[in-house]
Structure 1
Amino acid sequence: MQQRAINVVLTGVTGTALAGMLVAGVAAASDDSAPPKQLLSQQAVASQKHEAPQQHTPKSTEKRQAKPAAKDAKSSSKDGKTVKKGPKVLLSGKTIASYFWDDGSGVNGDTGAPAGGKPMQKGLFSSPSWPMHTKVKVTYNGRSVTGFIGDRGPGEPSHRGVMLDLDTYTFRYLLDGKKPASKYNAGSGEGHLKGVKWEVLSWGHGAGKKGKPQPFGS
């Protein structure tokens, strides 16, 4: 009877010990698996940080794309419109101008073809001193004509301040915007225009002197 009781007690103790060992084994197995999971999670986060592409804010993109507007050295802007600049003026002044048409035909005492070697035409002017083929712009009453020096003259009138002889068409156009009665007659009754503005745009390579106009033969 006493021996049976001892066996029952041992059996209970043994069962309790075995149960405790099983529980401890399960807990130990759980603890062993936890570190690998935690390590894997940390590695995944680190990998995502390295692989994440860099993103630029719209402001930084706009700064990179912004470029200064190019400037046009040959033009200027006024009220949003592009205005072209005219040719550079080398020399300017005012004088009295007369008119002529000398085609070598002998009409009205013509002395021969223009000295510059080019035929008489609209825009061919005569100067007592400037180099042949000098480019000149003349203005009067708000009207302008650009021509060239193609002949010598006027002669004696240049000593009285008449420093330009204009072709008949240019003379009449500057006067009132009309056309002459003929090549040899302006048809206006006017023989001179006082206060004609002249502007030298480029000097010619022919015979003559640069600078302010000088009377004929001086």
Structure 2
Amino acid sequence: MQQRAINAVLTGVTGTALAGMLVAGVAAASDDSAPGEKQFLTQEAVAAQQHDARQGQAQNKAQNKAENPAQKQTENKTPAGNAEQQQKQREAAKESAPAKKGPRALLSGTTTASYFWDDGSGVRGDTGAPASGKPMQKGMFASPSWPMLTKVKVSYKGRTVTGFVGDRGPGEPSHRGIMLDLDTYTFRYLLDGGKPKNKYHAGSGQGHLKELKWEVLEWGKGAGKKGKPQPFGS
């Protein structure tokens, strides 16, 4: 009887002790698992942040790619646009700038002109080499009275040529109002803008230009008389 009572007490004590140990073990197990869960949660947060960061970088790259072509296009257009604008400004400046004027005429008037080509060939009344000593050439005119090497501008029907006095003439025709001889090329150009048949023949049925405008731009230093043209030998 006494032994059973002792056994019962021991059994109770042992059970109580075991229960306490079980409770302590469970509590310890609970405490041990807590850091693992916290660590798992922290890793999840880091992974989420990294994912968000990668997403943000990808979005930034996409945005940069979308913006850069437009920026490059703008940059590419800018120089061309500037060049075009500068060209327009230059053209506007040219239009607004006053037209350049040629030399002022010292003397001007109108006359009837014929043509010649004196090179010593004897063709078409050739009287020999030009009196100025210069070879016959385009732009050489003959005057019955003006000083040699006088600079003269002639105009007819909107066409203009500037030449110089290099010979004497016309002769007898100057007494009939024909006060200027033009080289064959100048004569034909003023007539219709064409070219002569050859240097001795203008290639047209017209041998005179009436109402030809002349302007003396500079008097020559050779022999002759300044002023209005005078008939040959007067």
TM class, shorter-length: 0.5 to 0.7
Instruction: Please give the alpha-carbon distance, in whole angstroms, between the structure 2 residues aligned to 1:79 and 1:120.
Output: 40
Counterpart-to-counterpart distance in 2, 1:179 and 1:168: 9
Residue 143 of structure 1 pairs with residue 159 of structure 2:
yes
The alignment's TM-score, normalised by the length of structure 1, stands at 0.63
The match for 1:167 among 183, 186, 197 is 183
Structure 1 segment 10-159 matched on structure 2, within 5 A: 80-159=96-175
AA aligned opposite 1:106: G
1:188 to 204, 208, 211: 204
SS in 2 for 1:165: strand
**TM-superposition CA deviations, 1:171-215 (whole Å, max 9, x none):** 000000000001000011101110000000000000000000000
How far apart in 2 are the matches of 1:156 and 1:181?
26
SS in 2 for 1:196: strand
Q: Secondary structure at the match of 2:99?
A: strand
In structure 2, C-alpha distance between the alignment counterparts of 1:108 and 1:142, rounded to whole Å: 29
Aligned counterparts of 2:124 and 2:110: Cα–Cα separation in 1: 28
Paired AA for residue 152 in structure 1: R
**What's the C-alpha RMSD, in Å, of the aligned pairs?**
1.3
Please state whether the residue corresponding to 2:124 is helix, strand or coil.
helix
Structure 2 distance, partners of 1:140, 1:83, is 21
The percentage of counterpart residues that share the same residue type is 80
Structure 1: tracts of 5 or more residues without a match: 1-76
Q: Could you tell me how far apart the structure 2 residues matched to 1:99 and 1:109 are?
A: 11
114-123 vs 101-110, which moves further: 101-110
Change over 3 Å in CA distance of 1:134–1:81 after alignment to 2: same
Q: Which has the higher strand share?
A: 1
- CA distance, structure 2, for counterparts of residue 152 and residue 119 of structure 1: 14
Mapped partners of 1:120, 1:161: distance in 2: 24
Report the Cα offset of residue 79 of structure 1: 5.0
TM-score, normalised via structure 2 length:
0.59
The aligned amino acid for 2:198 is S
The 1-side partners of 2:180 and 2:170 are apart by: 7
Q: Structure 2 CA distance, aligned partners of 1:188 and 1:116?
A: 28
Deviation at 1:85, TM superposition (A): 1.8
2:224 matches 1:211? no
Q: How many angstroms apart in 1 are the aligned matches of 2:94 and 2:211?
A: 31
Distance of 2:224 and 2:206 partners within structure 1: 29
Structure with bigger gyration radius:
2
Give the deviation of 1:78 after TM superposition.
8.2
Unaligned runs of 5+ in 2: 1-92
Given residue 198 of structure 1, which amino acid in structure 2 is its aligned partner? W
The one-letter amino acid of 1:153's match is: G
1:116-151 CA distance string (max 9 Å, x none): 110000000000000000000000000000000000
1:161 is matched by which residue type in structure 2? G
- Is the helix fraction higher in 1 or 2? 2
